[in-house]
Structure 1
Amino acid sequence: MHKKPSTGWFSMPAYTSDDQFPMYVDRIANAKWEVKELGLEHNGYVDLLLGEFKHYKTRLAHGGIHKEVQDRLLEYGLEIVAETLIEGLSRVKRCSNEGRALMSLDLQVLINGLQHFVPVNVKPKLQMVETFIKAYYLPETEYVHWARAHPEYRKNQIVGLINLVATMKGWKRKARLEVIEKIE
C-alpha cells in the first residue's frame, strides 16, 4: 500500500522516514541520552544504519542498474538517513549536555562510515542533522526565529526539539507553550 506524502512545514510534501524506518527512529529516540560523561563509544543504532546502508548499496550494485542511477539512489539513501536521524532526535524526551555531545559523536561516526559507500561528500548531505543538533544550544529567545529560518524541518520535529530543550533547561510551562504557539 502506497502512503500519501505527509505535509511538511509550510505545506511542503515530505515522505516521513518513520513511515519507512520506524525501528531506527525508535532506536535513536530511545538511546541513552542522559549520560554523565562522554565516552569514546557511539550508540548502537549507528552500526545498524551503516549495516543497512551497506546492504542497500550491495542490492543496488547487483541489481543491473547503471552506475549513474546507483549513485543517485545512494544520494537519496543519504537523504533518508538524514531524515531518519532528525525524526529520531526530535523524539528524544530527556538528554544531558553530554548526551548532546554524544549526538554529535554519533553523527560524525555515521558520516565517516557512510563516506565509504558513496562517491559524493557525505557531510553536506547530513548538514541538516548537524544544524538540528546545534539548535539544542540556542538561547530560549532564538527558537521562534530559528524555526522560521529552517523550513526544512517539519513542525513536529521543531516542537519535539523545543519540548526537550524546555525540559532540559527548566523552562516554565508558559514560556514553552508561548514558543510553540509562535511557531504554529
Structure 2
Amino acid sequence: MSQHNNYVDVILRELQVFSNRLNGVSRRVPLPEAVSKVMWEHVIGLANRTLVEGYASAKKCTNEGRALMQLDFQQLLMKLEKLTNIRPIPEREFVDAYIKAYYLPETQLELWIRDRREYSPKQLISLINCVDHINKRGRQRLVAMVEESANRR
C-alpha cells in the first residue's frame, strides 16, 4: 500500500479538535506560549506512546506491515508539523526506533533490547515475537533475556 491507514486520519482529527479547543480557551483566557507548548508536548507524547502500544499488540507483522507503520508515522509527523509549532516532535524517536528495530539482525536486536529501558517488557516481547528473521531458539533466548531483566527491575 502507498496510502496511510485510516487510524492516522482519526488521530489527526482528534488533534485538530484539541487545537481548536485550545485556541478557543486562549481567546477567552490568554494562555502563555509555554503553557500551550507543554500541553501540546504531553498530548503528542501520549499519542506517540499509544502508537507504540498499538504496534506492540500486533500478533504477526511482515516487512510490508512494518513499512506501512513507517508510512503511517511519517504521515502523522508531517501533518503534526503543520498543525503545531512543536519541534522536535515529542517521543518521535520512541516510535521510530521501535518500528526500525524489527529490521535489526539478531545480535544487534539483542544489544538494542539491552539498552532500552523506555519500552515495557510487553512491548519488547511483542517485537521479538514479530521478528520473522530470527529462529525459534533465538526468539526464546531474547524473550528470556527481557523477562529476566524485568524481574530485576
Give the 5 Å matches for 1:1-184. Answer: 39-63=1-25, 64=29, 66=31, 67-123=33-89, 125-165=91-131, 168-169=132-133, 171-172=135-136, 174-184=137-147
**Normalised by the size of structure 1, how large is the TM-score?**
0.71
Taking a change above 3 Å as real, the CA distance of residues 133 and 50 of structure 1, as seen in their structure-2 partners, is same
Post-superposition CA distance 1:81-118 (Å, at most 9, x none): 11011101111112221211111111110001111221
Taking a change above 3 Å as real, the CA distance of residues 135 and 170 of structure 1, as seen in their structure-2 partners, is closer
1:146 partner amino acid: W
The alpha-carbon deviation at position 40 of structure 1 amounts to: 1.9
Flag the structure with larger Rg: 2
> What's the secondary structure of 1:169's corresponding residue?
coil
2:38 partner amino acid: R
**Normalised by the size of structure 2, how large is the TM-score?**
0.85
Q: Structure 2 unaligned runs (5+)? A: 148-153
Q: Could you tell me the percent identity over the aligned residues? A: 36
Report which of the two has the higher share of helix. Answer: 2
Post-superposition CA distance 1:140-179 (Å, at most 9, x none): 22333211212111111111111111xx33622x332221
Post-superposition CA distance 1:38-94 (Å, at most 9, x none): x32001100001011111121222223513212210011110111011101111112
Contact 2:45–2:90 (8 Å) recurs in 1: no
Aligned length: 143
Structure 1 runs (4+) deviating above 6 angstroms are none
Taking a change above 3 Å as real, the CA distance of residues 65 and 84 of structure 1, as seen in their structure-2 partners, is farther
Q: Structure 1 unaligned runs (5+)? A: 1-38
Contact 1:71–1:118 (8 Å) recurs in 2: no
Q: Following the alignment from structure 1 to structure 2, what is the Cα–Cα distance between the partners of residues 44 and 111?
A: 15
1:137 partner amino acid: Y
